[in-house]
Amino acid sequence: MPPRATGLLVIEVRNSSPGGPGRRKEGVLVRADGRGWISPFSLMERLRDLVHNKQGPVWRGFAGQFSADLDIRQFQVSGRDSGNAEGRGRAMDRFWDIRVFGQGEGMAPDRDSVVRFGLGLSVCPVRIAHAGAGEPVTAYDDQGRGKSATGRDDRVVTHGVYAMPFFINPTAAVSSGCRPLDIELLLRLIPWVYSHTGTVLQSAVCLRHAWYMEHTSFLGSCVDLALIDALTPVKKGDPEESSSGWTDYQVPRTLPRKLQARVKSLRDLVEEQMSCGG
């Protein structure tokens, strides 16, 4: 059974669009208060891309690193690999994303989701421009998409730092079939989720930290949001003023002692993967 865990992705964006790749071309999204947001579905789509691309360096680099064999037949992606029209049990055996995210053909989006990513929200309001000529955005549509006077669709965030939480719920694994090996693969994929996916307009979207905390109990040993609050960057100076660089933020790297005592460990998945070279 997978562990009960809480995580937080800290994402920096420089003159890029943090929206989804491939079929989820969301582009730059912004709320009425000026804070940018990243759809959790766009991040899951990127993770699916990495698992689906069996000839890519990420999959090939990890395939031989696990104690158990990553049988390709058990690590397919629903909607991309053939044979999706099959029974639920067979689908769980074949499709990694169904076991982990609980999403697949004929299944409700949130059913049996062992891993749930939350909304990625910028710490402070973001400035949006058009990549071609640095043309400022003059209006927003009803879905929060920026629009310039010329109507061109090449929006980028000049700078922003986003915090995206995620949660691992072992109870859902009883019906989804998710195994510890599925979660281990997810944790190894996360550090490369932006650097190995995306488009030209998404070239400078960087995962700075990927915090991961296992609880000491399958029921949960700490309030999730307390852990997330403790590791979310804080804007220096005026919190309603847009940032221009990474140094505009205070970035926590440890948990307060009382919270640290309530989790098994505090891991930065980015630091782990970078230090070992993937």
User: Which pTM was predicted?
Assistant: 0.88
Domain membership flag for residue 101? no
Cα–Cα nearest to 204, from 239, 165, 161, 233: 161
Is the pLDDT confidence value at 151 over 70?
no
pLDDT, one tens digit per residue, over 199-243 is 888 889 999 999 999 999 999 999 999 999 999 999 999 999 999
Q: At what angle do helices 180-189 and 40-52 cross, to 10 degrees?
A: 100
Give CA–CA dist 172/180, Å, rounded: 13
Say which residues have a Cβ less than 8 Å from residue 36's Cβ, sequence separation at least 6. Answer: 13, 18, 28, 29, 30, 121, 122, 125, 126, 128, 157, 160, 162
Whether 217 maps to a domain, the answer reads: yes
Give the position of tokens 């460990």.
265
Q: How many domains does the chain have?
A: 1
Residue 132, domain member (yes or no)? yes
Residue 138 CB-density burial (10 A; 0-12 exposed, 13-18 middle, 19+ buried): exposed
Q: What is the mean pLDDT of the chain?
A: 86
pLDDT digits over 181-208, tens only? 999 999 999 999 999 998 888 889 999 9
- The domain in which residue 183 lies consists of 5-42+117-276
What are 96-117's pLDDT values in tens digits?
999 999 865 444 455 679 999 9
**Would you say residue 201 lies in a domain?**
yes
